[in-house]
Amino acid sequence: MQKVFEELTTAFRQNSGVLEEKQYIDIVTKHTTLSEDSETIFILLQASGYPISYDDDRYTLTPYFTPSNKQRYCIIDIETNGSKPETSQVIEIGALIVEDGEIVDKFETFVSCTFLPEYITHITGIEPIDLIDAPTRKEALIALKHFMGDAIFVAHNVEFDFNFLNASFDRFGLGHIGNLKLCTIDLAKRTFKSPKYGLAYLIDELNIETATHHRALSDALCALKVMQKSFESLPKYVQSSDELLQFSVSSKRERGIKDRLEQKGVTKVS
């Protein structure tokens, strides 16, 4: 499904956020198996968290039309007992749902684990006893999947959290994560200057209080604070959620071109 997510997002961006039915079918049928038709794939896309909707024989990428300050975001942090999902697992998940700039829901859980290296306990403060009666990995992942919905997946160093969870979901037959993703490190680098952009450094730099670094929910909250700081300095041409996502990975040259166009009064830059 990952290929479907990528090709659809590219096509939506090339077609002003909307695809006609034939365009959609042409893309998804490239990846159709004997048991999946285009309608089934649409259901799977929505179930995976991919923000697609259908109306009037047209498909829409919803973040393309959603103002960035109105978007539903899921800010996530995980603690693990190792760095590779092939040989390690999640031991704690913390997540926040933010909508209209406000925290509207929270998710926090330990995850059952029989192997916890001492160095992980030293880093996180999580003890083996904390994990004994915790939900199983599958239970925790299913709960997280329902919690995320189709919100934009946000994390500090998003590739680690996203890829680790994606591999974990796949291992338990829960499919791939289709949510669009936003990295608060990438966004911070494009909106404010700092000698370093690691979360521990920014906690001090931004005077984030009550932070307990390397605990999932606390780090998710700190990532939210970094995102909010970045939102204060977004250029005016970043209006929609999808424009925010593209801005967060844009090159200095791309931003320079858009800045100059904005100064000339061109308010919508493709």
Residue 266: predicted pLDDT: 64
What does the DSSP assignment read for 87-125?
T--EEEEEEEEEETTEEEEEEEEE---S---HHHHHHH-
Report the C-alpha gap between 152 and 248 in whole angstroms.
13
By the 10 Å C-beta count (0-12 exposed, 13-18 middle, 19+ buried), 192 is classed as middle
pLDDT at 79: 97
Query: Topology of domain 2-63, per CATH?
Result: Arc Repressor Mutant, subunit A (1.10.10)
Is residue 214 annotated as part of the catalytic site, yes or no? yes
pLDDT for 208? 84
Question: What is the CATH number assigned to the segment(s) 72-231?
Answer: 3.30.420.10
So what's the pLDDT on residue 264? 78
Contact 73, 151 (CB under 8 A): yes
CB of 199 closer than 8 Å to CB of 218: no
CA distance 62 to 205: 35
In the block, tokens 């992942």 appear at 141
Q: What is the pLDDT of residue 267?
A: 55
Amino acid at 49: G
pLDDT of 214 reads 83
Q: Which one, of 166, 249, 210, 239, lies nearest residue 17 by Cα?
A: 239
Q: From CA 108, how far away is CA 15, in angstroms rounded?
A: 38
Q: Kindly give, in sequence order, each residue whose CB lies less than 8 Å from that of residue 239, ignoring residues fewer than 6 positions away.
A: 67, 68
* Distance separating alpha carbons of residues 163 and 87, to the nearest angstrom: 14
Active site residue: 31, 146, 156, 214, which one?
Answer: 214
User: For the chain, how big is the Rg over CA atoms in Å?
Assistant: 20
Contact predicate 61/242, CB 8 Å: yes
pLDDT by residue, tens only, the chain of 270 residues = 888 999 999 999 999 999 999 999 999 988 777 567 888 889 999 999 999 999 988 999 999 999 999 999 999 999 999 999 999 999 999 999 999 989 999 999 999 999 999 999 999 999 999 999 999 999 999 999 999 999 999 999 999 999 999 999 999 999 999 999 999 999 999 999 999 999 999 998 888 876 677 899 999 999 999 999 999 999 999 999 999 999 999 999 999 988 888 877 765 544
Q: Which helix (H) or strand (E) holds 6?
A: helix 2-14
Instruction: Supply the pLDDT for residue 239.
Output: 96
Domain segments of the chain as ranges: 2-63, 72-231
- Residue 1: the pLDDT is 84
Please tell me whether the overall predicted TM-score, pTM, comes out greater than 0.85 for this model: yes
- Select from 227, 196, 244, 212 the least CA-distant residue to 94: 212
